[in-house]
A and B are shown apart, each in its own frame.
Chain A
């Protein structure tokens, strides 16, 4: 009995190693080098040998202990079930931490800056969560709305001298408008088309921004975007004549940290607004309709829900929050260029939603913190970052398609026997 098992394992491992060898030889075994006479080639069969060896023994070991590969995924530990209410406690604690964070003595400029970045992604994740998590529409061009928001703010602020507070809603509305324009023709179709069209749309926006130099500054982007002020009181050492600056208003010593801390609270409030809005929407009929559509579109249609309109509302609202985040991004950076809005950004935001568990607000926070902080800590390995990133997306799908913190359960369900 054991003999056959070992033999089978050996056979499987041999097959896996053969495939690995075939995969590795052309791309790992040879490396193209640029020489004076065109391309040269160098070999690195030692790498191939390592790779194949690892695959062989890894597969052998797995086959011996677990049997076939299908079982392997089933054997991985499931997430522990938390008692109900834990989520709320954790969320409350995190919120307290988030509010207190910049005031703690350990918080330096670097930390707060990173926290701002994480919060931007949390906000984007929550925005996209409306589209992907609640309504079940795969949007691969979310970054386009982010870009629309950022450029709207930058152009309005520079050309018309409008304040951040006025521009913020305009940026959001503009992004939502784009969402409606894009969504209207496409949302009537099946989900897969939406994915590819949004992907194309994201690229389109980027190409237009890159080439329409008179409008967007082309590849140079837009610089010296006005920084936000504290409701009319600028963060500056010296205000213009007759102007009170923030530190004079409160009688504080001037410090550049003030602005950063203000930005931190600003994005925190914006993100919480997104979250609160989503949680509220979920209880409204339209929010219920989103989730119902995600679960079963045909049944929804039979019940008289108009799928296009419902999807369109989710799409536009998600886009709007992307626009808000974009406006914030522009004012925080002071400089934007098409570089910041590439497909990779969309993929990162999508990965945050997927990793966190589609539809889960808490999962988004955890995944955003993880995806932003880990590369920050592993700066030396940045070359491998995207490779690992792609791999992680596949593995998460294989292991836990519902994400780390699952929330697929609809908000409303019938009681048993009702």
Chain B
């Protein structure tokens, strides 16, 4: 026993000194990491300490730490701003809008990339395939401001090309960006326009991972192209589809700022105002920092829980998970 312990101790010491030696010979790696670590601390971790604002009566005349903990009627009420948010009809509407828009994005936009990827895979003329991909990926690299500029142009009620064409056949004008219901349609459509092509990449990668022998075997059995799509390609990318679907469902409360902010306007605010634009408007413009920090924290925590849930589900399904 004693001997064993001693041996183990010696081994541990040896391992410890080996680590120290590695650290010494590789000291330049730590020097390299200094700037990146300083970056992550300054711009990613220190901001997290400001989350306490959600639990404080923060005023811009004091620092975060000097501000008192949140109180109602003189007694401590740490969750005051969370309660306030959930009592506010405006926040509840914003929460509903966020979920609605994300859900519609998923319901109408999710299968476009899958279908496009299957189509691209069926193009036999290589140069045409390459050209199609080049064109379809491009909108992904345009900013939402640019897309808004284009949309404002082509959907303009009087001078927009869509309404000019509609007028030629005796219809319209249709207010794509000012009518609430149509605005939602336009928002979803532009989302598909921007990202459907680019999102094929992950499915095309999955298709290249399919064993070519399966296709050869199917050919020997006399299967046509449609049968090969249905029985080999689709099952081959099924797992990727499921993972993407679950991940996207996990992001139901996550919403970018640029897209709803750029596309929205005061006429459609009741359907277009989402968490990100609300936090900007009520927090940064109207300076209600504690309330909007609470809203942001609620959103981050729910997103994190959903993401972990999504990962657990994908792992249960026999996938590798996302981390």
Partners in one complex: no
